[in-house]
């Protein structure tokens, strides 16, 4: 069997290669680990001039990492504006905040062409190519135009909306035509696959999509949680609670994660169930992301204000209902925090999957598991139906679920957790990658 060639916008930095953080990196690491493979993408650095964009190669554990630098202009138009300022909100059904500019699209396509130009000389005939995420929708077509005959698969980590939403994008038809160059497109849920195939059909293109819900490495995360429960930070958090229930929210600072709506839900809980006042703490850990995009800066200001308001309105001289952090917490400490949490609040307005829900389940103690409150609009919801399911726009619903979570009997928490844990253990990051690649290798090439 030939090599696996992975292409993603970001390639893990050298220090993250053995212990990657995010979902894409963990799943792909298992697929490339120990086998002859190539992982191509952006280094995360800026090129001083566009001449200097040839890949730098570095091999670690059988995988060759090939990275190129982007110029500041490419970064701004391709990454910040078109990928994160337009495709991200569109795919999360937020057409009210999209900002389309032809120049951004032009440079988005140029960067995809640059990836193709720099990747082609590194390819072999018997490679299987696996491209990831919305930054690289046109890359398969660019490779085909340069004569690449290998199997090319694509996986989309975020949701994909129906044609009635997608067609808002002025370049939607051209993008879909280019996406038809892939032999197989993987998405997270049945709904996403139906939406994407509906878009292909609306444009007289053949169906390409199938769903492959991504998982985590539950054994590794569970072990990290057990090992870190005695870590200094986790012990300090535990002591600081003084017996209060810990409600945990862990998300990148992103409007798709529904953090303001969740905080409104928590405030409604404090008003609706005043008997619990002083007995719970919401720890919301939200490291800043995409600070170059205006909507993210506005969200940060909104959250700063909300947390301050709720603490001032409801807090006391010896109790703050919310602890809100914008710094990143090391992954192993986070695993320990998950283990001691009584409730996880995972309430995105839309999410491709949401790995935090799965990490919370993996980190729990079977003897005394916490309760998971999960948005019915997360991609994880169809698999995790034993969670306390909420509509993230329904404040009263969130309030009632928090009440149910903190008062739930041990027996019910264990029953729900066992079912959730079974799902998280069966559908791991490693077998997600295996299932996708197996289907890709079996797919007949359609010209
Ligand atoms: P993300 O939108 O980044 O991923 P998510 O699935 O929740 O969302 O994964 C985030 C990862 O970052 C998790 O492993 C989490 O532990 C980590 N993380 C989050 N907050 C953190 C913090 N405060 N400190 C340290 N680590 C933190 C995209 C899609 C998702 C999809 C994944 C994988 O948007 O829907 O599930 O890709 O396909």
pLDDT digits (tens, 9 = 90+) for 267-292: 999 999 999 999 999 999 998 878 77
Instruction: Say yes or no to pLDDT of 121 above 70.
Output: yes
> Scanning the structure block, which residue is given the tokens 């005959």?
149
For ligand 1, atom 17, the nearest C-alpha belongs to 22
Q: Find the mean pLDDT for residues 18-31.
A: 72
What are 297's two structure tokens? Answer: 């800066």
Could you say which of 1.10.10.60, 3.30.559.10, 3.40.50.2000, 3.40.640.10 is the CATH number of the domain covering 4-215+429-442?
3.40.50.2000
Read off the pLDDT band of 445 (50, 70, 90): low
Stated as kind and residue range, the H or E segment containing 233 is helix 232-241
Residues of the chain by 3-state class (helix, strand, coil), percent to 5:
50, 20, 35
Looking at residue 39, what is its pLDDT?
A: 95
pLDDT for 285: 96
pLDDT-derived band of residue 20, with 50, 70 and 90 as boundaries?
A: low
- Beginning with the edge strand found earlier in the chain, give each strand of the sheet holding 37-46 in spatial order: 56-60, 63-70, 37-46, 4-10, 128-132, 151-155, 184-187, 209-211
Residue spans per domain, the chain? 4-215+429-442, 218-426
Weakest mean pLDDT among 33-47, 151-165, 411-425: 33-47
Burial class (CB in 10 A: 0-12, 13-18, 19+), 1: exposed
Catalytic residues: 157, 351
Q: Find the 35 Cα to ligand 1 centroid distance in Å.
A: 26
Pocket test for ligand 1, best of 252, 300, 429 (most atoms within 8 A of CB): 252
Q: What's the CA-to-centroid distance between 276 and ligand 1, angstroms? A: 30
Distance (angstroms) between ligand 1 centre and the Cα of 355 equals: 6
Structural fold of domain 218-426: Rossmann fold (3.40.50)
Tell me what pLDDT residue 50 has: 65
pLDDT at residue 27 is higher than 80 = no
Q: What is the pLDDT of residues 70-112, one digit of tens each?
A: 999 999 999 999 999 999 999 999 999 999 999 999 999 999 9
The residue whose CA has the least distance to atom 35 of ligand 1 is 352
Report the distance separating Cα 55 and Cα 38, nearest Å: 12
Atom number, ligand 1, closest to the C-alpha of residue 329: 24
**Distance between CA atoms of residues 342 and 328, nearest Å:** 21
pLDDT at 19: 66
Indicate whether 447 pLDDT > 60.
no
List ligand 1's pocket residues with C-beta within 6 A: 21-24, 157-158, 214, 250-252, 285, 287, 328-329, 331, 334, 351-356, 359, 379
**pLDDT value of residue 35:** 78
Confidence class for position 395, pLDDT limits 50, 70, 90: very high
pLDDT, tens digit (0-9, with 9 covering 90-100), for 219-232 = 999 999 999 999 99
Instruction: Report d(CA 132, CA 150) in Å as an integer.
Output: 16
pLDDT at 21 over 70: no
Cα–Cα distance list, 43 to 25, 58, 208, 280 (Å) = 14, 12, 30, 42
Mean pLDDT score across all residues of the chain: 94
pLDDT grade for 61, boundaries at 50, 70 and 90: confident
The reply to whether 218-426 shares the fold of 4-215+429-442 is: yes
Instruction: Give me ligand 1 centre to Cα 254, in Å.
Output: 11
Closest-lying ligand 1 atom to the alpha carbon of residue 250: 20
H or E, element range at 403: helix 395-407
| Model confidence band, residue 174 (pLDDT cutoffs 50, 70, 90) | very high
| Residue 182 tokens, joined | 């892939």
Q: Is the pLDDT of residue 153 over 90?
A: yes
Distance CA(20)–CA(25), nearest Å, equals 6
Q: Residue 338: is its pLDDT beyond 70?
A: yes
Nearest alpha carbon, ligand 1 atom 37 = 157
Percent of the chain with pLDDT over 90: 86
Ligand 1 test: best mutation among 16, 22, 192, most atoms within 8 Å of CB?
22
Per-residue confidence at 202, pLDDT binned at 50, 70, 90?
very high
> How many Cβ atoms sit within 10 Å of the Cβ of residue 165?
17
Compare 62 and 307 and report the one with higher pLDDT.
307
Compute, in angstroms, the gap from residue 199 CA to the centroid of ligand 1: 27
């Amino acid at each position: 069997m030939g090599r696996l060639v992975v292409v993603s916008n970001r390639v893990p930095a050298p220090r993250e290669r053995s212990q990657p953080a995010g979902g894409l990196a963990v799943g792909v690491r298992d697929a490339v680990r120990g086998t002859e493979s190539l992982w191509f993408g952006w280094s995360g650095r800026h090129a001083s001039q566009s001449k200097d964009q040839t890949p730098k190669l570095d091999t670690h554990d059988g995988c060759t990492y090939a990275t190129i630098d982007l110029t500041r202009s490419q970064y701004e138009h391709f990454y910040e504006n078109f990928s994160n300022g337009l495709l991200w909100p569109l795919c999360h059904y937020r057409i009210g905040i999209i900002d389309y500019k032809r120049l951004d699209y032009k440079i988005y396509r140029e960067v995809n062409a640059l990836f193709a130009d720099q990747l082609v000389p590194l390819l072999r005939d018997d490679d299987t190519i696996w491209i990831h995420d919305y930054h690289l929708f046109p890359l398969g077509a660019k490779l085909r135009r340069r004569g690449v005959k290998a199997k090319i698969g694509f996986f989309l980590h975020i949701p994909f909306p129906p044609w009635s939403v997608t067609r808002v994008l002025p370049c939607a038809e051209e993008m879909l035509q280019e996406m038809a160059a892939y032999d197989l497109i993987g998405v997270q849920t049945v709904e996403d696959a139906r939406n994407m195939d509906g878009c292909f059909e609306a444009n007289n293109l053949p169906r390409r999509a199938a769903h492959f819900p991504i998982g985590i490495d539950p054994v590794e995360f569970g072990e990290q949680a057990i090992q870190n429960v005695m870590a200094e930070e986790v012990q300090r958090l535990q002591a600081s609670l003084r017996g209060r229930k810990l409600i945990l929210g862990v998300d990148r600072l992103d409007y798709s994660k529904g953090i303001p709506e969740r905080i409104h839900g928590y405030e409604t809980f404090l008003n609706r169930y005043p008997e619990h006042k002083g007995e719970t703490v919401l720890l919301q850990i939200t490291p800043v992301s995409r600070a170059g995009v205006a909507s993210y800066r506005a969200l940060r200001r909104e959250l700063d204000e909300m947390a301050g308001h709720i603490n001032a309105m409801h807090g006391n001289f010896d109790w703050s209902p919310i602890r809100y952090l914008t710094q990143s917490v090391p992954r192993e400490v986070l695993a320990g925090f998950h283990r001691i949490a009584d409730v996880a609040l995972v309430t995105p307005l839309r999410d491709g999957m949401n790995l935090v829900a799965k990490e919370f389940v993996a980190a729990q103690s079977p003897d005394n598991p916490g309760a998971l409150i999960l948005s019915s609009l997360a991609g994880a919801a169809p698999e995790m139906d034993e969670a306390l399911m909420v509509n993230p726009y329904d404040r009263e619903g969130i309030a009632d679920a928090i009440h149910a979570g903190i008062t739930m009997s041990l027996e019910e928490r264990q029953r729900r957790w066992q079912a959730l844990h079974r799902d998280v253990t069966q559908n791991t990051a490693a077998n997600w990658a295996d299932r996708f690649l197996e289907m890709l290798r079996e797919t007949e090439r359609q010209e």
